Amino acid sequence: MKRNLLTAIFCVFILFAFSGCQLAREDMGASAGGDKLAGVFITAEYIDLFDMESYLNDNLKSFQGGTVIAGGNTQKYQGRLYATITNKTLGGEGTGETAGADEYEFGNIKGIAYFLRTEAASAPNGGLVTTTSNDGISDSHVNINSGDDTESISLDGTLYVVPSGANYEYYFNPVYQSPDGSVYLESGDGFMVSNQTYGEGAVFSQKLDETTTVTENGKSKTYSMTVNVSISSVFAPEKIKILQMDADNRILSQTEYTPGSLPEAIAPDGDTDYLIVETDSRDNSGILKTARKIYGRDSESLSAFYQQSDGLCIEQWTQINWN
């Protein structure tokens, strides 16, 4: 079997090199079973699930006019990696209140999950849509438009990356949900952020979209899903300050933090009218830059970024308990 595979591949490359042939592929058929695109699972390494050997053995056909024709529906050769779903109980310390949250694991593969899951109609919470998102996704926006015969969903998020000094690869593996509620992923395309030093704000994006028609209660319904993940270049945070300001714009107090060490909550002084969060970083030339965000009394939380070892900048949130 392996010998046949190597021979087939060798013949294809020889034909490409010496006769100028083209590789023709028959159109792929539509996926069946009502599975719907649910989102994306972003990994640092390629997840190889495609059965290339079976595909070539089944579909590599004879020469036709100097062309090697590799036909057939590739979907059936695309392997699936199903998620293990466990329910984790979350509880606030000292409150006695608990809540359940589903966790999804794709074997031992680490990655950033960003997808929606719809509870099956037969489930206790039938039709309930929940979002799964890891810390790596920032600026998340979810839009759901639902009608009698159409439903469209869009997910938008951003990965903030410090690219200098290393190459980082990100593979965007599409995640699907079956009618029975099971969730699985398929192999996706990759993107590299090189060690080239970009300016802050350089943006790249990866978009996945799909439109399918499903049958619910005997009626056809068109379902469309769009997932757009941007990669934005940022300078590494070095220092965080939280300044408490009064109504006359005077500094009442200021506290300095190492990025990633913000407290879970802060209680501003009674005279504090608003807060300023300052983030110090250095540009490509080593020049100090300070970015500022203002939080008024209508703000329930504040945030600042910190850098992980993999180059991702994670947004950390702090609750504001106004007096």
What 3-state DSSP class applies to 48?
A: coil
What tokens were used for 113? Answer: 């999950």
Helices (H), the chain: 2-19, 52-59
Q: Which residues make Cβ contacts (< 8 Å) with residue 155, sequence separation at least 6?
A: 39, 40, 114, 115, 116, 140, 141, 142, 225, 226, 227, 228
Dihedral (C-alpha) 299, 301, 156, 112: value to the nearest 10 degrees?
Answer: 180
Predicted TM-score (pTM) of the model is 0.75
Decide if 85 contacts 104 (C-beta within 8 A). yes
Q: Which residues make Cβ contacts (< 8 Å) with residue 232, sequence separation at least 6?
A: 158, 159, 160, 161, 201, 202, 203
Q: Which residues make Cβ contacts (< 8 Å) with residue 192, sequence separation at least 6?
A: 167, 168, 169, 170
- The separation between CA 67 and the C-alpha centre of its own chain, rounded to angstroms, equals 39
Angle, helices 2-19 vs 52-59, to 10°: value is 70
Domain assignments of the chain as residue spans, ordered by start? 2-30+48-74, 81-233, 237-320
What pLDDT score does 137 carry? 94
CA-to-CA dists, residue 91 to 85, 156, 221, angstroms = 19, 29, 38
What pLDDT score does 196 carry? 61
What pLDDT score does 8 carry? 36
What pLDDT score does 94 carry? 46
Spans in the chain with pLDDT lower than 50: 1-32, 63, 90-91, 93-95, 98-99
Distance of alpha carbon 134 from alpha carbon 41, whole angstroms: 10
Q: Determine how β-strand 219-233 pairs with β-strand 150-161.
A: parallel
Of the candidates 34, 9, 36, the one whose C-alpha atom is nearest the C-alpha of residue 23 is 9
Decide if 139 contacts 234 (C-beta within 8 A). no
What 3-state DSSP class applies to 262?
A: coil
234-291 pLDDT per residue, tens: 999 999 999 999 999 999 999 999 999 999 999 999 999 999 999 999 988 889 999 9
What pLDDT score does 279 carry? 97
Distance of alpha carbon 49 from alpha carbon 35, whole angstroms: 18
What tokens were used for 12? Answer: 């294809």
284-310 pLDDT per residue, tens: 888 999 999 999 999 999 999 999 988
